[in-house]
Structure 1
Amino acid sequence: MRLALTLTAAIALAGCATTFEVPDAPVANLPDSAAPAANRSVSAGEQMMQRVATRIEPIAEDVCRQETGQTRGCDFVLQIDRSGGAPNAFQTIGSDGRPLIVFNEAMLRTIRNDNEIAFIMGHEAGHQIAGHLARRQSQVGLGGLAGAILGGVIGLDQQQSAEIGAQIGGRAYSQSFELEADVLGTYIAERAGYDPVDGAASFSRFRGSNSVLSTHPPGQQRYSTVVATAQRIAAQRAQGLTPTIPRN
């Protein structure tokens, strides 16, 4: 455990911060009423996903091009994972180099409404916009190197220490990345005409962990970040401004 905490601190100090500003959010009460949809079929979930995608995808791609200057890296593809497992959605890169946003069947069965699926799509697009896959891989390499060095210093097996370091390196900024993607997802969903705060109520079903080594922050922290971001957007619109995504 001491090795893990030491490595986490070392990697955090050596790593890079988030690109987009995550607000210091006052605690917002996470709704307890966001129960999953009951008895929805996968086909009905697919229809919802496709309906929402017609509005979210062009906004996400436009935000991606504006923030990254890329074109192909912003050509999102939606896929469904039919391999089973707990409700999940994630972002990855396809064999053709295009970014994928993937929902598994269990997630499609439990989504409550269009706001939830819009926010989740925006969040996953946010991972691509912020370059999280490449940045996480860099942290894995840094963690492996730090683990090997520290293991040698304190007399542990260097191979084992390197493997532990790589695992910790992959998680060192995961929570920050999730909050950053939540901010981007809030802007994307709002621009597409959805309610990201209602969409983020799904965190009551996926609350996360308080552990420093957890890949996801606690649900209440994530929900509070979305609420604060939505309030910032609303304040800009009230002044007649087009909301812009703040960078660090």
Structure 2
Amino acid sequence: MLPLDAVAYTNRWRPRHPAEKAFLALGLLACAVALPPWPGALVVGAVAGAVLLGPAGVAPRQAWRATRVPLGFVTVGSVPLLVAVGGSPWIRFEPSGLPTALQVAGRATAALLCLLLFAATTPLADTLPRLTRLGVPPAITEVAALMYRFLFLLLESVRTVREAQASRLGFRTWVTSYRSLAGQAGAIFVRSFDRARRMEEGLALRGYTGSLRVEVEPRPVSRPFVAAVAALLVAVVAGTWALHGTLA
């Protein structure tokens, strides 16, 4: 199980209806996108982080493990805004791009925390079966569920092949490492096709007719929670515009 999935199954908000958490996370995401990046990104990011680490009960170490790779992409995507190409010298640091880079990084980080707030509190198994009630075709949700399940099988295959190669000193030198990586890619490619074929045959033998019915645990939507989320979103919008007017 991936670390983010483990957090999604063990957090305090696990028993809550996914719609409640989606309303909070997507509402904050809309604020992060629509409000001015300064101080909107700071306010939204602080609120999302506080809710994630506080009421949701996600440990800071778990949140950092889930966000460090996306934050790396945010950093890499913001750095080119600080570079100018052309002229003399041909490539140089561009100070005028610093405000834009900070705005992009701030808005992207706030949006990342909003999405993490939903992903770290809601397992995919709770979300996909309920999407059909919103009009999503069952074929889409079923393909997503099968791909989600197949991802874990693929990661397990990668781990098994890598351990076998390491036991045979396959990563002793650069030459053997490249050879092992090439063999690993080929073995995983073949295994993936074989597992997909066996999965298709298994579904056919079980009388698959285009719909996989699963039991969904009934969970009532908490009206007080929805009202509190609405009040929080209004407070975020009002606070952001108040700070924006003060700093302008």
Place the TM-score, normalised by the shorter chain, in its bin. under 0.3
- Judging by fraction of residues, say which structure has more helix: 2
- Judging by fraction of residues, say which structure has more strand: 1
TM-score between both structures, scaled by the size of structure 2: 0.27
TM-score between both structures, scaled by the size of structure 1: 0.27
